[in-house]
Amino acid sequence: MTAADAAAESDAEARSILERAAAASFPPLHAVHHLLSVGVCVRCIFRMFGAFSHACSCASLTVSVLHSFLEEHDDSAKDGSCSCLSMDEACCSICFGILLPTCHQDEGVAPFEAISRIDIITSMVSQAIQREGYQIGEFSTEISVPAVVAANERAIRLYMKGKYGSENWFKDEIFTQQTMSVKEALRLLIVPSLEKQLGVKHSNNSFRIRLTYTHDDASLKLKSLLPNDSNRKRKAESREGNDTRRNSTYDDKQILTETDTFIHKSLEGIQDQEFCTLFKLPPEKVLKPCQLVISFLRSPIYIGGRYLKLSRNVSQSCWIIDDERMGEASVEEIIKENVCAISRGDGYKFHAAGREDIDVRMLGSGRPFLIEVLNVRSIPTAIEIQQISDKINSSEKKYVRVRNLKLVDNEIWAMMREGESEKQKQYAALIWTSNPLTDDDLQKISVVKDMEIVQNTPVRVLHRRSPLERKRIIHWMEIEKVEGSSNYYLLHLCTQAGTYIKEFVHGDLGRTNPSIGSMLRCRAEILQLDVTDVKMDLLQ
């Protein structure tokens, strides 16, 4: 099929829609004339009269087609006296050109070669996806329009009510009912074109195409007409005066975001009578279209597993004090670097089931963790996940190892948080006591079962944690002498999550009670500590 044939078929579809509407006396032609004369586009006219997909999704339903139809079917238009027939396809007074389906064609270009605005947008979307390197199987759409669109639509409805409120067609409430929104109409127009251009289906998918329309001038002007705006201005000026760190670009975006939110909330609280006193009816014709920003967002993905930390000079997360790095590396950075190299996300968040100090090794089956990767360009395959694991585990610097690395859903994150306070942890600690321990002392430690202790926030973390009293359970302990020494012992213990093990050994100046030192009536110090197991039924 040639371009001319396709255009003819599309025009026939548009005329068929108009013929069906005229046969049903819907919408009234004189009302259509009036809406055109105040700058309402053909698509918004059909929206406001309750027409849905059969009209709003037809890209060839343009003002020129409607003009031609009116000339054929309405006597008032045949002599060319109707001012609306000489109008250009300018921006709509309601949608600000968002639903305008066709760009102005250049002089000398045949009608069937006119450029579709929808095709231009879908081409821009496709090019941006390729440029950003996104891999997609399906997509969903998010559309944002300025709040002034809702205000102008309400103004048009109230204006038409004042002019035609006594006529039967208006009394049927077809025109006054809430009908298809601009966002819904645009989605009907653009989704088929996007599916064709991208070669994938539209669905409720994690990959979202965002079309954000803004009209700064109209939004700010409307904001100034709403009540209580002067108070908001004074507050904004005061806020800006007290915060010199904010830059002008951030301020402008923040103000415009607040503007749309404020307009929506304010319009909801204004009755029709007050609305008519505040705003011009009908609204002024629009000369400048909305601006469009295309962006993409994929829901976070989660890669989880268990990590082992084999060094006593590696922190869990990057630790910097006074611009000086503590430790040689961090678990978070090592895992993140390898994950992000394949998934190509905009950012990441590291989540773990608890944490160990920098000088504590994490051994045994490892600690459950998740890497939350934001807005990834590519979702890693099982093979790529294994490559990430192999690369971490084969590193010459044997700082960190991972186990059972895999792609998981976000429910694991909630389960990890819920189970964190319930899990048990096992430790192995090398301790020193000021007195050699007797067999009775060793027995006293080994018979402990589910002993409750009380711990006040340790002195070493008081600068960053609230002073609280915490009750914790020591489930069991075993202790053995270090061969060849009378003051060194290896303590094995299983505790409730959140127990401060170092403080349980030395007592923290009496802030932990009982402690190993108080139980043995001697001074006790911890020299080395390893986590040997984190008992959670996650990421095994």
Catalytic positions: 357
Q: How far apart are CA 308 and CA 533, in angstroms?
A: 10
- Separation between Cα atoms, residue 412 and residue 427, nearest integer Å: 25
Please name the residues in contact with 465: beta carbons below 8 A apart, sequence gap of 6 or more: 457
Q: Identify residue 450 by its one-letter amino acid code.
A: D
DSSP lists the bridge partners of residue 371 as 303, 350
Residue 525 and residue 432 in contact, taking contact as beta carbons nearer than 8 Å? yes
Rounded CA-CA distance 33/70 in Å is 8
- Cross-strand bridge partners of residue 191: none
Helix (H, G, I), strand (E, B) or coil at 52: coil
Which two three-digit tokens encode residue 289?
A: 């279209």
Shortest CA distance to 100 belongs to which of 86, 115, 84, 112? 115
Residue type, 443: Q
Grouping H, G, I as helix, E, B as strand and the rest as coil, residue 432 is strand
**How far apart are the C-alpha atoms of 176 and 159, rounded to whole Å?**
11
Residue 529: is it exposed, middle or buried by C-beta count within 10 angstroms (0-12/13-18/19+)? buried
Token couple for 209: 């195409």
Task: Give me 385's structure tokens.
Answer: 């996940």
How many CA atoms lie within 13 Å of 106's alpha carbon, on the beta-carbon side? 2
The residue written with tokens 């509407």 in the block is: 21
Structure tokens at 31: 């009302």
Q: Is the peptide bond before 368 cis (omega within 30 degrees of 0)?
A: no
Angstrom distance (rounded) from CA 56 to CA 59:
8
Residue with tokens 């993140």: 336
Q: Which is it for strands 324-325 and 320-321: parallel, antiparallel or unpaired?
A: antiparallel
